[in-house]
Amino acid sequence: MDKEAIDLKMEENTEVLISEGNGDYSVFSINPDIAAVTLNDDRIEIYGKNTGSTNIIISDKKTQLKRLPVIVYQYDKIVLEEETVNIDFKIGNKKDVTINILEGNGKYSAVSEDETIATVQTSENTIIITAQGKEGKTNIVVTDASKRQAVLSINTQSTTIPYDEEELAAIMEETTAPYFVFDASTASAPYYDYLNMIENGMNLSGYTRYDFYVLKIYYPKDVSIGEKQGCKISYQNIPYGKSSDGVLDLEYFKIIKNDGSKIWAVFSLIEKDVLKYGYFIQDIQP
């Protein structure tokens, strides 16, 4: 045959010439829903019906067989929502990012060149990337049903900032006070005894329950919006079985909203190479 493989656009035809054989040819498509085939003497006409891959089988009067691979595609290339993705992950924490596939030929698969940096999975027309908590760079190779490929560049970088802009906006929409979140544990009225006082010249916010669950956050008297220095934290059994070794320095503390009666604050610290973080809403000291 004058062609060893066919790459054919959907709803288009191509022709293959049988150049050698013993005559009395017959042909059929393994999957006629992908590629239809007809025979005219020694000429094979193939029509692309739907995206995917299949094979055309050709035989002659001596039952010699030939397999002709066929790939049918709709789009000439894979188009991704982004070509480069920068992922800021909280130290020691994984982070998921979703990228949409805008054009392609379906049945997508994806492979990460370095899974210590990022892993990947696909779901229909989306790519789900998981940064593994390690700084670095890698590429993700996306392949569709027509064997076309696109490369997605991934850059990962750690941060001590606990929440991104979208998350901060959601926090500032919350109205319940007092309200505390730390290391995936949540405390809100009326099940806790709340702390809201001045201690050793600093604001103290937090809560206790049965003197078993305890959270104390120390920060300056200045409650204007912005980052604050010299802030500290201590906690006991938050979550259950986890306690700080005394009073610890916070890596980051920021008041993100002050409506005149309450403050919204976010904070983080690094323990054993893992960023722990949270936020709270608390009445302002009179």
How many Å apart are CA 135 and CA 158, to the nearest integer?
6
Contacts of 129 (CB under 8 A, 6+ apart): 85, 87, 96, 97, 98, 99, 118, 119, 120, 140, 152, 154
Residue 118 has pLDDT above 80, yes or no: yes
Q: Is 65 helix (H, G, I), strand (E, B) or coil?
A: strand
- The answer to whether 192 and 172 are in contact (CB under 8 A) is no
1 pLDDT above the threshold of 80 = no
Q: Would you say residue 149 has pLDDT above 80?
A: yes
Q: Write the CB contacts of 213 (distance below 8 Å, at least 6 apart in sequence).
A: 187, 192, 207, 236, 237, 238
pLDDT at site 260: 96
Residue 216 falls inside a structural domain: yes
Of 73, 92, 115, the domain-final residue: 73
Same domain membership, residue 171 and residue 99: no
| Weakest mean pLDDT among 78-87, 214-223, 236-245 | 236-245
148 backbone dihedrals φ, ψ, rounded to 5°: -75, 150
Lookup result for tokens 């979550």: 239
- Identify the residue whose tokens are 């986890």: 242
Q: What is the pLDDT of residue 198?
A: 95
- Is there a single domain that holds both residue 143 and residue 190? no
> Which residues form the domain of 86?
79-159
- CATH code of 150's domain: 2.60.40.1080
More confident position, 218 or 160: 218
Average pLDDT over residues 239-265: 95
* 224 shares a domain with 146: no
- Give 23's pLDDT tier (boundaries 50, 70, 90): confident
156-189 pLDDT, tens digit per residue, is 999 989 999 999 999 999 999 999 999 989 998 7
Same domain, 129 and 87: yes
pTM assigned to the model: 0.77
Task: Provide the token pair at 190.
Answer: 């009326």
Same domain, 69 and 83: no
Residue 20, both tokens:
């050698």
Look over the chain and give the mean of its residue pLDDT values, rounded to a whole number.
95
The whole-number pLDDT of residue 83 equals: 96
Contact 61, 44 (CB under 8 A): no
Q: 13 or 189: which carries more pLDDT confidence?
A: 13
Give the end of a domain, one of 38, 73, 108. Answer: 73
Among residues 159, 192, 212, the one where a domain terminates is 159
Over range 258-286, report the average pLDDT. Answer: 95
Say if 1 falls within a structural domain. no
Domain count, the chain: 3
